[in-house]
Amino acid sequence: MTIIDKTADVPAPRGSTENSGPLLDVRDLHVEFKTRDGVVKAVNGVNYSVAAGETLAVLGESGSGKSVTAQAIMGILDMPPGRIPQGEILFRGEDMLTMGYEERRKIRGQKIAMIFQDALSSLNPVLTVGYQLAEMFRVHQGLSKKDAKAKAIELMDRVRIPAAKERVNDYPHQFSGGMRQRIMIAMALALEPDLIIADEPTTALDVTVQAQVMDLLAELQREYNMGLILITHDLGVVADVADKIAVMYAGRIVETAPVHELYKRPAHPYTRGLLDSIPRLDQKGQELYAIKGLPPNLLKIPSGCAFNPRCPKAQDICRTDVPLLADVTEQDGGELPGRGSACHFWKEQIHG
Amino acid sequence: MGRYVARRLLQMIPVFIGSTLLVFAMMYALPGDPVRALAGEQTVDPAQIAQMKKDLGLDLPLWHQYLNYLGNLFQGDFGTQIASGRPVADIISDAFPITIRLALFAFTFTVLVGISIGIFAGLKADTLRDRGLLVLTLVLISIPSFVLGYLLQYFFAFQLGWVDPNVSTEAAPGELLLPAVVLGSLSLAYVARLTRTSVAENLRADYMRTAVAKGLPRRRVIGVHLMRNSLIPVVTFLGTDLGALLGGAVVTEGIFNVQGVGYAVFEALRHREGATVVGIVTLIVVVYLVASLIVDLLYAVLDPRIRYA
Ligand SMILES: Nc1ncnc2c1ncn2[C@@H]1O[C@H](COP(=O)(O)OP(=O)(O)OP(=O)(O)O)[C@@H](O)[C@H]1O
Ligand code: SF4
Ligand SMILES: [Mg+2]
């Protein structure tokens, strides 16, 4: 199966001498949850990869398994009820799923860090932000309390929190939403990890603050040359910062592409639908397009292509055969690096 | 904060007056009186009784007696027992340390065992071990403490002969162990359940996921991030519980014959010694109020989101 690490003009990976492969490589990942009503198949064979300095945006409707995939990478799935029946998560070529607890713990925070959507509930309410930031240095680098606190202030300055020195002993609830998200970013950046996973980092913020936080994240990513997995609903944000996109539906990647190509020529009817549902200025007054129907019930995913009950292009084969993520090429067979689509009729979609 | 404490202290005054008046009135309403109780079965000349009552001020109306009592109290005089002629202050200073020792023993037992059980169960909520411990606490809650008291006494003292069924007048620490377990068992069940629920709930909190994602060792995730949050409601409960333990000691002291406050109140009631009963009950009320004030302040220290103004 082709994976989307062929994107052109990627900046040279950090420490490229030791390893030229992708930083993170998720292969055929499956995740399921045992619930009272049955087995929820949240992730059904996800493949994606990220290189140093590269930004992968993961798109998809609510419930498509974006967060669950991220949690599986981070090792913070609720297990039980969660289970990973199949798949590999390679970090610098090593499968994290077969590592011991301690080995894996040392990767978390130091090599791979995560930014959560809701900073208020994701920060510990009874510990000062200074403590929570300093904890990273104390635990992973064995710094003294005092040195770690100094580093925490430095970090808060770094993410442009005004009066960092005075505010280091404040508690999370004493900050505004945007400032709290900056603290989350600072915490993820503390040990300059190789990869950051940001799960809807700006969804909980108001629009003006969203842009600031996103800019900050993009700037720091460039500066440290980190890989970034950006999970989002916001197609506008994606166009600005992402290098490549993976579109998820019912726990699978249905389309992958370099960012601008996806906007220009989607190769999957679901992606087409997503793009058409973005409000546009030149269509002001017209009714907004929406993909008809509801996301599938993960307890009982439709046979064949999971999207078939909602797809305007569905044929009989779509109800019986599962479309694999196939390489997408030009009409004349010319290569389109990094592009793939899991649709029986991708040719008609992109060239039709 | 200072203003808050001052307000709370001021609020104690009406509670203090109310509780003393209530106990005072109840003693007044009880049939019989201390002078008659002194005489026992003997027939005494009614005129003599009337004279004694007059000397002791017991013929005055309730409000007058109460004011006299309060007046004396503010001069530091708790009154004198009629039958024994001992100052009530002496009775209190004999009995209170024993009860406080018993209550502190029970409290320590509650805290150590209750919280441990709660954490142990809460970390693996809805497993067999959790269910088992839940049933155990239910049993403890549903058995009245005098039944548990007599059961343990029968078993450990009469059957096994490990301990003396009665606690001596010194109330040595070793002797108080069994009574403390009986006294603390109900609170223990509550503390265990509260801790369990709190731990299980916080375990699912977002910040716990963050703590794991930060790569913190498990010890730290549980010991710092989980515990700091989970123990807040438990500490709040424990504070008010300390007061309740003092009150609950009365029954336990009866079973094991501990000569503490319970014993003193019981004796005083038998002889209709109003001053003694009021004095002791008031003191318990004050301890309770102070304990709950300390807990509320502690609450603000533990949870920075709480602010008192
Ligand atoms: N702990 C869990 N137990 C049972 N089911 C779960 C659990 N966590 C996630 N799921 C299920 O997995 C599915 C995918 O969830 P996920 O959070 O990955 O969606 P998402 O793509 O991140 O959506 P959103 O955009 O709303 O965040 C959901 O249907 C959810 O019900
Ligand atoms: S495979 Fe069929 S149902 Fe699925 S997206 Fe393509 S056309 Fe639609
Ligand atoms: Mg999500």
Contact yes or no for B176/B163 (Cβ under 8 A): no
* pLDDT at A133 > cutoff 90: yes
Contact B206 A74 (CB under 8 A): no
* Strands A326-329 and A252-258, bridge-based pairing: unpaired
- A170, part of any domain: no
Higher pLDDT, A241 or A11: A241
CB contact under 8 A, B206 and A114: no
Percent of chain B with pLDDT over 70: 92
pLDDT of residue B170: 67
Residues of B in contact with A114 (CB under 8 A): 210, 213
A269 lines ligand 2 (CB under 6 A): yes
Q: Is residue A297 part of a domain?
A: yes
Residue A3 scores a pLDDT above 60: no
Non-local CB neighbours of A294 within 8 Å, separated by 6+ positions: A310
- How high does pLDDT run on average in chain A? 85
Say yes or no for a CB contact (<8 Å) between B225 and A127: yes
Task: Answer yes or no: is B27 within a domain.
Answer: no
Decide if pLDDT at B146 tops 60: yes
**Residue B74 within a domain:** no
A87 — contact with chain B (CB < 8 Å)? Answer: no
CATH number of the domain within which B97 lies: 1.10.3720.10
> B153 is written with which tokens?
């006494």
Flag whether A178 is in a domain.
no
First to last CA, chain A: 25
**Alpha carbon distance B40, B105 (integer Å):** 38
* Low-confidence winner among A14-23, A140-149, A198-207, B221-230 (lowest mean pLDDT): A14-23
Q: What is the pLDDT of residue B309?
A: 63
Residue B241 vs residues B118, B236, B245, B296: alpha-carbon distances, Å: 17, 9, 6, 13
Residue A200 falls inside a structural domain: no
**pLDDT at residue A197 in the model:** 94
Yes or no: say if A193 and A111 are a contact pair by the CB < 8 Å rule: yes
For residue A7, the model assigns a pLDDT of 45
Going by C-alpha positions, the residue among A324, A276, A315, A270 that lies closest to residue A293 is A270
Cα separation, B23 vs B29, in Å, equals 10
Residue appearing with tokens 């794991």: B212
Domain count, chain B: 1
* Residue B177, in any domain of the structure: yes
> What pLDDT is attached to residue A11?
45
pLDDT of residue A159: 84
Decide: helix, strand or coil at residue A74.
Answer: helix
Contacts of B220 in chain A (CB under 8 A): 135, 139
Q: Which of A35-49, A233-247, A281-295 is the least confident region?
A: A281-295
Looking at residue A5, its pLDDT comes to 47
Please check whether residue A86 lies inside any domain of the structure.
yes
| Nearest ligand by distance to the CA of A341 | 2
> Quick one: angle between helices B128-142 and B173-203, nearest 10?
130
Among A109-118, B112-121, B159-168, which is the least confidently predicted range?
A: B159-168
Highest mean pLDDT pick, A162-166, B28-32, B238-242, B253-257? A162-166
CA neighbor of A292 nearest in space, from A275, A273, A306, A314? A273
CB proximity list for A174: less than 8 A, separation 6 or greater: A167
Amino acid identity of residue A223, one-letter, is E
Distance CA B171, CA B258 (A): 7
Tell me whether residue A192 is in a domain: no
CA B189 to CA B44: how far, in whole Å? 53
Give pLDDT tens digits for A293-348: 788 888 888 888 888 888 888 888 888 888 988 888 888 877 888 888 998 888 88
- Mean pLDDT throughout A18-24? 71
Close Cβ partners of A96 (under 8 Å, ≥ 6 residues apart): A73, A75, A89, A90, A104, A107
User: Which atom of ligand 2 is nearest the CA belonging to A306?
Assistant: 4
Which of the two residues, A20 and A266, has the higher pLDDT score? A266
Q: Which two tokens stand for residue B164?
A: 């003396």
Contact (CB<8Å) A76/B212:
yes
B210 and A123 in contact by Cβ < 8 A?
yes
Neighbouring C-alpha atoms within 13 Å toward the C-beta of B241: 24
Looking at residues B141-146, what average pLDDT do you find?
Answer: 78
Asked if A107 contacts A96 with a C-beta cutoff of 8 angstroms, the reply is: yes
| Domain assignment of residue B71, yes or no | no
Tokens matching residue B306: 């709480």
Q: Burial of A32 by CB count in 10 Å (0-12 exposed, 13-18 middle, 19+ buried)?
A: buried
User: So what's the pLDDT on residue A16?
Assistant: 42
Write down the residue that tokens 């930031």 correspond to: A133
Q: Is residue B97 part of a domain?
A: yes
Q: Are B155 and B149 in contact (CB under 8 A)?
A: no
- What's the confidence (pLDDT) of residue A284? 64
Tokens of A260: 């601008």
Collapsing DSSP states into helix, strand and coil, what is residue A232?
coil
Does the beta carbon of A33 sit less than 6 angstroms from any atom of ligand 1? yes
Handedness of CA B107, B112, B117, B118 (dihedral sign): positive
**Two tokens, residue A144:** 């003294």
pLDDT at B209: 92
The parent domain of residue B117 ranges over 88-264
A6 falls in which pLDDT band (50, 70, 90)?
very low
Whether A213 maps to a domain, the answer reads: no
Phi first, then psi: give them for residue A115, nearest 5 degrees: -115, 125
pLDDT at position B290 is 85
What pLDDT does residue A264 have? 86
User: What sign has the CA pseudo-torsion A123, A129, A133, A135?
Assistant: negative
What is the per-residue pLDDT for A72? 93
**Which residues of chain A are within 8 Å of residue B203 when distances are taken between CB atoms?**
none
Is A213's pLDDT higher than 70?
yes
- A67 Cβ inside 6 Å of ligand 1: yes
Model confidence at A13: pLDDT above 60: no
User: Regarding predicted confidence, which is higher, A236 or B184?
Assistant: B184
CATH at A343: 3.40.50.300
- Sequential DSSP letters for A105-127: HHHBTTTEEEE-S-HHHHS-TTS
* Position B176 in a domain: yes
pLDDT tens by residue, B216-258: 999 999 999 999 899 888 988 887 787 778 777 777 887 777 7
Local structure of A41: helix, strand or coil: strand
HEC profile of chain B: CHHHHHHHHHHHHHHHHHHHHHHHHHHHHCCCCHHHHHHCCCCCCHHHHHHHHHHHCCCCCHHHHHHHHHHHHHCCCCCECCCCCCEHHHHHHHHHHHHHHHHHHHHHHHHHHHHHHHHHHHHCCCCHHHHHHHHHHHHHHHCCHHHHHHHHHHHHHHHCCCCCCCCCCCCCHHHHHHHHHHHHHHHHHHHHHHHHHHHHHHHCCHHHHHHHHCCCCHHHHHHHHHHHHHHHHHHHHHHHHHHHHHHHHHHHHHHHCCCCHHHHHHHHHHCCCHHHHHHHHHHHHHHHHHHHHHHHHHHHHHCCCCCCC
In a domain, B298, yes or no: no
Average pLDDT over residues A3-12: 45
In sequence order, what are the residues at sequence separation of 6 or more whose Cβ sits closer than 8 angstroms to the Cβ of residue B76? none
Distances (CA, A) of A208 to A212, A327, A344: 7, 39, 41
In a domain? residue A232 = no
Domain of residue A309, residue span: 1-106+238-280+288-352
Reported as a pLDDT band with limits 50, 70 and 90, residue B86 is confident
Distance from CA of B222 to the nearest CA of A (A): 13
pLDDT at B171: 63
Tokens found for residue A264: 């220009």
pLDDT above 60 (res A4): no
The top-scoring range by mean pLDDT among A34-43, A274-283, B165-174 is A34-43
pLDDT score of B164 more than 70? yes
Query: B214-246: b or e for each residue (b if 16 or more CB lie within 10 Å)?
Result: bbbeeeebbebbbbbbbbbbbbbbbbebbbbbb
Mean pLDDT confidence for A235-261: 88
Confidence of residue A78 (pLDDT cuts 50, 70, 90): confident
pLDDT tier for residue A281 given thresholds of 50, 70 and 90: low
Q: Is A248 on the interface with B (CB under 8 A)?
A: no
- B11 lies in a domain? no
Q: What is the mean pLDDT of chain B?
A: 82
- Average pLDDT, integer, range A95-120: 89
Q: Please indicate whether, in this complex, the C-beta atoms of A135 and B206 are within 8 angstroms of each other.
A: no
Element (H, E) at A249: strand A244-249
Q: pLDDT digits over B33-80, tens only?
A: 767 666 666 677 777 777 777 777 777 777 888 888 888 888 878 777
The pLDDT score that the predictor gives to residue B37 is 66
* Ligand 3 center–CA A66 separation, angstroms: 6
B184 neighbors B107 (Cβ within 8 angstroms): yes
Q: Which residue in this structure is represented by tokens 């993820």? A: A188
Contacts of A173 in chain B (CB under 8 A): 304-305
Contact assessment for residue A202 and residue A182, using Cβ atoms and an 8 Å cutoff: no
What's the total number of domains in chain A?
1
In terms of pLDDT, which residue wins out, B50 or A22?
A: A22
B52-to-A8, A80, B35, B45, B218 alpha-carbon distances in Å: 110, 78, 7, 11, 73
Alpha helices in A117-206 (DSSP H): 119-122, 129-141, 145-158, 164-167, 177-189
- A75 in B contact zone (CB under 8 Å): yes
SS3 A154: helix
Mean pLDDT of the region A54-83: 90
Q: For B204, which residue in chain A has the nearest alpha carbon?
A: A78
